[in-house]
Chain A
Amino acid sequence: MEQLSREAEKSTPKVICDPKDNYILIKGESYPENSFEFYEPIMDWVEEYMDQVNNENVEVELSLSYLNTSSTKSLMCILDILEEAYQEGKDIKVDWYYDEENELSYEMAQDFMDYLEIPFNLQVKEED
C-alpha cells in the first residue's frame, strides 16, 4: 500500500497515512468548503489499510484545534472504521493532542469518546 499525505493548508489539516510505520496523523484546523471531498480518499485509505492489518501496533495521532461540523462528520466516519477494526481485536491506539488553553479541542475529544468504544489517550500538546 502507498503512503498518503497532504500538507496543511489554510482550511485543511496535515495528513500522513503511513503503512510502513503503521502511523496515521491528522493535524491542524479543518473547515474546507467540501469536507467529504477532502476526507473521502483518507476514508478509503484507512478502510483498505485496516483490512490488511494483522497484529501490528497502529498509532493514530489526532491533533486538531478546530473542526467544523462537516469535518466532524467526516472524521467520525474514519473513527468508525478504526472502531470496527478495534472491535475485531486489532491493536489500535488513538492519541488526541490538545492545547490546554483550547477547551474546544478537549471538548471535541470528549464528544468522540462519548460516541465510541475505542479509547482515546488525551495528551496535552507541548507546543504547536
Chain B
Amino acid sequence: MMKNILIELEKKLKKYGIIISFTGAFTQGIIEEMGDALKTYLNEKKNTKGKVYKIFSIYIELTQNVKNYVYSLDSEEEQEKILTSGVVIIGESGDEYFVSSGNLIRNEDIEPLEEMINKIDNCDEKELKKLYKKRLRQDIKKDAKGAGLGLVDMARKANRNFDYEFNKREDGYSFFTLTVHV
C-alpha cells in the first residue's frame, strides 16, 4: 500500500516539476531548513546568485505572509486551523521556476486581498516601484503586518502576473492559492 502511494506521489511530483513541497504549520525552523535545501539545490543547478536569491525571497515572503496572516487573527483556535492548513511547493516549469503557497482564509478577508492582488497585477515596473516605496513608508508608520509590501515585493521580482484562486468551502473559509513565476 505504502509503495503504491510513493509511486503515485513520485509520478505527480515529476509531472508538475515539483522540487520541494511541504504541508503543515510553517515554523521559522522549518522555513529556514527548507530554504537552505532550496538554495543548495538552485546553486547546484548553476543558477546565478541573483536568481537564487530571487526565488528564495519569494519563498520566504509567501511562507511568512501565511504566518503573518495567522498571527493577525485573534482566536487561537482559528490561528491553529489556518496555520496547519498551509502548503508550499517550489517547482520548475520550462525555463522558469514557480513558488506556490496555499492556506485557508476567512471569507471576509478575501475582498481586500483580491483588491490588492488586482491592483498589483495592473501595475507596470515603474508603478510597482512607486507602490513599494509608498507601502514601505505606510507600513513603518503603522507597524502594519498586512500582506501588502510582501506582495508588491514579489511582483517586482516575478516574471509575470500572479496566478491565484479562492476556493470557497462550506464552513466560512476558502482555500487561497497563490503562485509566483520567477
Contacts and interface: CB of A to CB of B under 8 A. Distances in A.
B28 A33 contact: yes
Contacts of A68: 57, 60-61, 64
Contact of A36 (B133, B143, B157): B143
B133 A114 contact: yes
Interface in B52-72: 53-54, 56-57, 60-61, 64, 67
A117 interface: no
Contacts of A105: 53
B136 interface: yes
Nearest to A71: B60
A104 B43 CA distance: 16
A11 B56 CA distance: 12
B49 A99 contact: yes
- Number of contact residues on B: which range applies? 20 to 34
A120 interface: no
Q: Is the interface of A mostly helix, strand, loop or mixed?
A: helix
B139 interface: yes
Contacts of A69: 61, 149-150, 153
B132 interface: yes
A73 B148 CA distance: 13
A10 interface: yes
Given A66-B56, A73-B139, A104 B64 contact: no
B149 to A, nearest CB: 5
B140 A101 contact: no
Interface of B: 28, 32, 35-36, 48-50, 53-54, 56-57, 60-61, 64, 67, 129, 132-133, 136, 139-140, 143, 149-150, 153, 157
Interface of A: 10-11, 31-33, 36, 65-66, 68-70, 72-73, 76-77, 99, 101-105, 111, 114-115
17 contacts: A31-B60, A31-B64, A33-B64, A33-B67, A36-B143, A65-B49, A66-B57, A68-B57, A68-B61, A99-B49, A101-B48, A102-B49, A102-B50, A102-B53, A104-B50, A104-B54, A104-B157
Given A11-B32, A101-B48, 16 more contacts: A31-B35, A31-B60, A32-B28, A65-B53, A68-B60, A68-B61, A70-B64, A72-B149, A77-B140, A99-B49, A102-B48, A102-B49, A102-B53, A104-B54, A111-B132, A114-B133
